[in-house]
A and B are shown apart, each in its own frame.
Chain A
């Protein structure tokens, strides 16, 4: 839409001063320059992620194994939730571009309506990300590391040699009480009897969990559920170190910490952009509603915040590919 009035000007006159050779206002140009620098920041982060992953000796968890839960549902839905988040962001980008289009027609009602839709989309995305973080931080059932080398035969008949330091994953119910037990909760009691491991948590409502299954190679390609006598063999070989969920120091998804830290940093930094984008969109929404742009006779501010909002969508497209898919 911009710059057409420069089309028939000779380049000498165009660059001779007094007019904008770029054919856009300084506000939009500096939004673009800011976005280029911000894009360099995100590219730096994603490249650092790629470097760490390429250089990592330890197993790197894969997206479709880690992110496969949906709120309120049992079962496994790999990548469905994050695809939904992507869709929400794309749709809110569309409503934003419709707001810009309405602005070009000086259609105040249209701008206000589409800006509101964009803000709602942004809030939905932020809520989804909060759930995603919460799920990532709480994790599955937690894991412990092996203190000695163990050889087991899995249910599929394949023999696995598990080295010292290999993480073994507990099931969800057992892991919950195991977390309290390993934190020194005095009301939790551990029984080992005839190859069975039982945790009992006494209190107002007594909880009991038996170790029914362990998982090896969880969150990576060759995931195997272990049942039967091998459970006890693995449990006996455990070291003192238990990990539950993820924080800034340890995580149950991988034996290295880079994976979790990059998750927190990249999606957190992106989420902060979404948050500030929602705030800025809200300010522009109020201004449009109060008729500031109507009096100004143009809706260029909507275009400028629109650029920022599309940029957020753009970054998410790359985060989605490089963090979740590859």
Chain B
């Protein structure tokens, strides 16, 4: 089939092949990431069931542990499963930097304003 969407030079290999031996190594890595993701999920669920919210200080810590573990999981999915780790660094930056700038800003603004709104509700009426 003739396709007009392919640049006919060495810009990128569409048929990114690897050999049988490389495949064994890659599959080993996939199994490792799978076990890791499952283990992290199991730990998160166990923490959610065991720890109580009434102890405010420790719950704060547990919340941040959840966030950290989630970011670790997300990192492994994006870098390993989605192969972003193997892309050129300019590609990585194009995907990650705009997203991170927007989201860090958005989360900060929304959560700050959310608590401020609650504070106003409970203190000024």
Contacts and interface: CB of A to CB of B under 8 A. Distances in A.
Interface of A: 1-6, 18-27, 29, 32, 35-36, 39-40, 43-44, 47-48, 50-57, 62-64, 78-80, 83, 86-87, 90-91, 93-94, 96-98, 100-101, 104-106, 221-222, 295-298, 300, 303, 306-307, 310-311, 313-314, 317-318, 320-321, 324-326
Contacts of B74: 314, 317-318
Contacts of A297: 15
B15 to A, nearest CB: 4
Given A36-B95, A55-B115, A50 B18 contact: no
A5 B10 contact: yes
10 contacts: A5-B10, A18-B7, A22-B88, A29-B91, A51-B110, A54-B114, A79-B48, A91-B34, A94-B81, A98-B30
**10 residue pairs, one from A and one from B, having the closest CB atoms:** A54-B114, A1-B16, A298-B15, A19-B11, A20-B11, A55-B117, A51-B114, A55-B114, A51-B110, A321-B70
Identify whether the interface residues of B are mostly helix, strand, loop, or mixed: helix
Contacts, number: 205
Given A25-B5, A56-B118, A317-B77, A2 B70 contact: no
B18 A105 contact: yes
A293 to B, nearest CB: 10
Contacts of B57: none
B95 A2 contact: no
B5 A26 contact: yes
Nearest to A299: B15
A39 B52 CA distance: 31
Contacts of A78: 48-49
A298 to B, nearest CB: 4
Given A27-B5, A221-B52, A43 B114 contact: no
A248 to B, nearest CB: 23
A23 B23 CA distance: 22
A317 B70 contact: yes
Contacts of B61: none
